[in-house]
Every structure is written in C-alpha cells, then in structure tokens.
Structure 1
C-alpha cells in the first residue's frame, strides 16, 4: 500500500512538472526560427512593404502561425487590425494614421493568451520592410527587393516562437502578441494600435519590442533600450542574465521603433536590438546571414525575464529624461552608421557611406569620434547634440581615435 501511495505521489509530481514545463528545445526553436525567417524574407514577398501583396502574405502567415499555436484572435477582423494611412503631400506635415477612404492600408496582426488575469503583457515586433527600396534604403543601385531578414523578420519570428513557448506555460498574466505594419514609414501600425487598442491599455503591464535581433556578435552583445521606464527593469535584467550576455542599456523610452508608441501611452517598455550592420536597409539583408544561435539566446533571455516578472505585481511606470520632445534635431549628416552597441567613450562608427563628409575625410569603420567642432563626444546623445549645431555648407574639424592613434580631419557638411 505504501508503495502504491509513493507511486501515486510520484505520478502526481511528474504530472505537475510536465504541465509547467515548456518542451520547446533550443534545437526545435532554431528550426522554427529558420522556417519563419526563410518564408518572411523570401523574394516572393517582395520586401513586405505596407499595402502590398507581399505584406498581405506575411500577415496571413503570421495569423496562421498564431492560430496553429492556439492564440485567440484579438484584432478587429479576426487576427487582423486593418488601418489606413493618408500621407501628406507636404513634406513638413505628418501622415494621418487611421483615416477612412483614401490612402495605403496595412494590417496589424494580434493574437491573445487569456490566463484569466486582470493584466496583460504585450510582446511585439514589426513585420513590414522597404519593398524595392523606397526613401529609407541605403542602397545606391537600381531598385531591388529588400528582404529585411534581420529588419525585421528576426523580431517577427521571435514573437511567433515566444507565443509558442508561453502558450505551453501557465502564467499569472495574459499575453498579447502583436506584429505591426508600417513601422518603416514612421511607426504607423503601432501608433494606430496604441490609440485603438483591442485590450484596455490600463490593463497592460509592460510591452516588449524586438526589432533587429538576428545578428548577435561574437561578444554576445544585446542592446536593451527603455530601462528607465520602470524602476524594476535594471535589477531584473541583471538577475536573469545566466547566458553571460553583454548588456548595453539605455534609459529612454523613445526610439525609432514600435515600443515608443506604447511608452507615449505611459507604459513600461523594453526594446531588444542586437546591432546595426552593413546590410541594414539594403537588399543584402538575407536569411542566410542570421545568427540563429544568437537569436535563440535573445528569446531564452526574454522568456526568463517574463518568468521572473510573473512573480511581481504590475510594474510601475516612470518617464525618462529625454522624453519631452526636446531631442536634438539636425539637418546635416556625417554620413556614418553609429555602432549602437558601443559602450565606451565617444561614438564608434559601424559603417561609412560613400560620397558623404566622413568618407571624404578618410574616416573608416571602427573609428571612434571623440570631438566634433568644439564639442567633446562621450556618447550617442552628445554626438547628436553636436551634430544639431551645424548647417549645410558649414565645415569643422572632427577628432577620432583609430586604434591607439588620435587623428583629426576637416569635414564639410
């Protein structure tokens, strides 16, 4: 009899353990990511620009994935939330998002896990890209398909795989998974959703955004923006870092991605990003260049964060210092791609555009700008402030480090 009781107890414990365990292995996760990104970044989708057949194919793929996982539809039309944008012919006026009638129509995709909670965690990414180039392209050749494997098939596939992982768990919170369109044009989809949410925004605990998470470097660096939007972020981000990732954090809730739309609704946000690269906004951003093992690390890190926060009450929201709209505005460019993962003194260059001031001055990838005119450059913000003081036609001296050597060059804007 005692043996039977022990056996029954063991079966009960194992049943509880299995019920609370995610059976998605890293290998299975990697296979899923490869499948998703290969589809989304295929030439057949022609770059997934908003309002195109390729964007519609991508949206249908995401919705079908959500349905297969078992997510409930949470759009205004099943899994979809259509929105129309009327772009102004005046370049100084912003587009009107959410208009009826004329304009370009995109679709957000929304799936929901209802765990019976009063509060919901939002996990999102944009799935659109640049089509055959458009004004956001950095490619100087003839129009060509911009597949956007890293930007942002990587984030979209991560949303799908996290939905699969979290559907297998029992959580204290509900989960809303969102795939936005129109991000490349100016955060159109997330802007519309945040003002026309299919859940009560007062019930949202926090929002996690993944934009370009597919090219992790050898140092395993992950940039996490928005850590100043809740007092709990910094503590938790360090606590769960069991993979020894190199975390580069910034406080601001405002940035060039979809988390901004939720931050502006007074919600705690985080934006995950593994860095810019030479294929950014070019036709060469293809699926075969994705670091799938690195993407698995990002997903597991976010999974641990969600699990850790499951033990906490609703997060408090805090505004960040540079959120008042007084960010530097500039009309000139040095013609470089900043290294957003650099956490040293100065602004490290990750790429130089031919024919621009930096290229003409002989600057190269890896150079670290330490002074621009009279301004000392200590980080990205100080670089932006310094740049905002110049106008087209002006010239100045830029000082930069190349290895251990300090160099100077004259640049003309």
Structure 2
C-alpha cells in the first residue's frame, strides 16, 4: 500500500508539472539539425521541417489555412535559364519539384489580416547559390532562415488573444532560395482574400545581431505611417531604415501585389550560404529582442485600421553591373564613410592581396569610396586582367594594396 501511494503521488506530480515552453533556440536547433539535410526545396528534409512547423502551429492553437491542412503544396519545373518564368501549372513527374508552404491562421473575426512570413527552405548539400568551395556538405541555414522561422513562431505565441483588431496569417515559405517561389505562388493562389491583407512582415536572417545592435528594416516607405512607427518603438537598435519594398526576400512578392511590407535583417556574414551557418553562432538574446520589437510595432499599428500602400523607388535599379569581383562580403549595415568588409572569399583578389575582415575600403583605383553604392560604381569600371590600387582604413591606419582582377 505504501509503495502504491508513493507511485500515485509521483504520477500526479509528473502530470501536474508543466512542460517547458519551446524557445526560439529550440526551434532553430531542430530546423538546422543535420537530420534535415539542409531543407532544400522538395526534399525529405524540407518535408520534415514543414511537418515540424505545422505541428508547432497546431500546438499553439493556430488553425490550418493551407490547401491541405496546414500545407500549401506547389509543383513546378525549375528554370533552365535565369530569365525564364517558373511554370507552376505542371503535374508531378520527371523534372518537377514540389514545394510546401506552411500556413496557419489566427482568426480574430477582424476585417483585415496581417501576414507574418519567413522562408524555411535552404540549400541542402550545396544547391545553386552556395558559396562553399570544397567537399559536399550540409548547409544547415541556422541564420538563413531558421532564425526567421523561430522568431515567427515566437510572435505567433505572443499574438494569441492580443492585438485583436487584425487577424494574423503566419506563412513559412518554401522555394525562396530558388527565386521567391513559395511567396510568389501564395500571392497568385492565396488562401485568404488578399484585398483584406493589411500589411506583411518578413524576417530573413535575423539571427546575427552584432554588438552595435544594428538592425536593417526595409520597406519603411511602403506605407506613410511605417517610418514613424518603426522609429518611435525603437529602444534597443541602431536602425538602418530602407525605403524600398523590393529586395531579395519574400516581402517583394507582397509589395508587388500593392501590400505594405516591412522586412527585418541583421546583416550578412562569412557563414552566409556555407555549411558553417550553424545554430551555435546565433545571438539568441538578440533574436528575442527583435521579436519583442516587432511585437511592439504590431501593437502600435493595431488600432490604425487598414494601412495605405505607397510605391517606392526600386533601389536595385541603380545598382551597377560588374565584369569582375573583388571577393568580399560587404557590411550592408555599415553607416560610416567607406565600404566595410564583413567577410573575405577564398581564392579571390581581395584574399590574394591581403585584405581582411573589418577593413574599410576608402579608395578603389582613382575613385573615392564613401559608401556601398560608390564602391559598386567604382568596381563596375574594371575588367578581368586589370590591376589597380585599393586603399583601406585598417583600425585607423591607411593601408594600400595592389589588386589584380
């Protein structure tokens, strides 16, 4: 009897003990595990990730809003050249790929809906777009973009029973790395009335907040209220606001459908599109701060009704075309004078000349470099085989090296 009573007590104790909530870090660790083999679109690993996200939605009490429960499958033939349009209207079979958008809905019986999105696919063992040079290896994509999905799930948890003047559609997109395919498909085949979409928030690579807390927010010009809202709710970040609603991530698909967008980004790094983009390199405290910040923005906008849309200039239209590369990863969030190098590519001119991460390019050939755009304009004047001088600021000291393209 004594042992039976003890057993009953222990069972009750276990039953009453609350399960620990799943954290942002927990989500990243699962999605960037080797078992998912890099989550390339159409693979078994991506399907495992899709099912995980669908189960997370279900456990959070977010209802299904795909075409097949939480999933929205789309089948396509990959492009054979970069100018070809993707054909979605194909049957499954040879040379076709099936991607899976994962869609959950928080229905507050409101008139308008806020879309919160992040892509969850990545490069598998090194698909097109990989910057890895070496043996075949899994590209886990912890920052790109398990980080965005984890913050999305954290926001879904926060938005339960709060800010109820809008509904919320949570979408994790497939096919982003292949050309924004999942978001483009959804906009053309929506599972809700897109005329009732208030605005769209996108998170792509939000896991590497740096020590100076620099955060880029794109799309602040796509609705008149955005710039003030983004600024007034900021207490933690060195903000880099960008007007344009066009960029290399899924918010572009919604902007092109005349929907206001905000896109959050903590910057590129040396592990971008490489096997070294792993969970242990992410700034989880920073990710939580970003999630809280986005939640405050959503809260501020909750009683503003449907936001007006505004067209913005496409900043990529001004980007020069290049015949050569220097072989560096620019620090896109650097706001000082010059172009700061955030990473060096193996075997490229910059590495051969001895340039280093952290160097700030202030002169390229005869051109003074004051920012990223002036650097790109200067680089566009060179051809393969040209030699020139590069001057960098290296921790306050001017260093001059010769570059051969």
Fold agreement, TM-score > 0.5: yes
Cα displacement string for residues 381-403 of structure 1 (whole angstroms, at most 9, x for unaligned residues): 33333333333333433332222
CA contact under 8 A between 2:270 and 2:344: conserved in structure 1?
no
Q: TM-score of the superposition, structure 2-length normalised?
A: 0.89
Counterpart check, 1:252 vs 2:231: no
The answer for unaligned runs of 5 or more in structure 1 is 1-27
Secondary structure of the corresponding residue to residue 99 of structure 1: coil
Aligned-partner Cα distance in 1 for 2:316–2:329: 25
Equivalent in the alignment of 2:63: 72
1:228: how far off?
1.8
1:155: how far off?
0.4
Aligned-partner Cα distance in 2 for 1:82–1:332: 39
Counterpart check, 1:200 vs 2:200: no
Aligned-partner Cα distance in 1 for 2:191–2:319: 31
1:113: how far off?
1.2
Partner residue of 2:90 out of 100, 106, 110 = 100
1:404: how far off?
2.1
Aligned-partner Cα distance in 1 for 2:66–2:216: 30
CA contact under 8 A between 2:163 and 2:302: conserved in structure 1?
no
Aligned-partner Cα distance in 1 for 2:312–2:74: 30
Partner residue of 2:345 out of 343, 353, 363 = 353
Equivalent in the alignment of 2:13: none
Equivalent in the alignment of 1:362: 354
Aligned-partner Cα distance in 2 for 1:203–1:109: 20
Paired residues for 1:1-400 under 5 Å: 31-89=22-80, 91-101=81-91, 102-242=95-235, 244-322=236-314, 325=317, 327-400=319-392
Aligned-partner Cα distance in 2 for 1:178–1:239: 27
Q: TM-score of the superposition, structure 1-length normalised?
A: 0.88
Aligned-partner Cα distance in 2 for 1:332–1:194: 36
Equivalent in the alignment of 2:16: none
CA contact under 8 A between 2:200 and 2:260: conserved in structure 1?
yes
CA contact under 8 A between 1:253 and 1:323: conserved in structure 2?
no
Aligned-partner Cα distance in 1 for 2:79–2:169: 32
1:134: how far off?
2.0
Aligned-partner Cα distance in 2 for 1:324–1:338: 16
Superposition RMSD in Å: 1.9
CA distance change for structure 1 residues 408 and 97 in 2, over 3 Å: closer, same or farther? farther
The answer for unaligned runs of 5 or more in structure 2 is 1-19
Aligned-partner Cα distance in 1 for 2:368–2:227: 28
CA contact under 8 A between 2:163 and 2:299: conserved in structure 1?
no
CA contact under 8 A between 1:115 and 1:170: conserved in structure 2?
no
1:329: how far off?
3.0
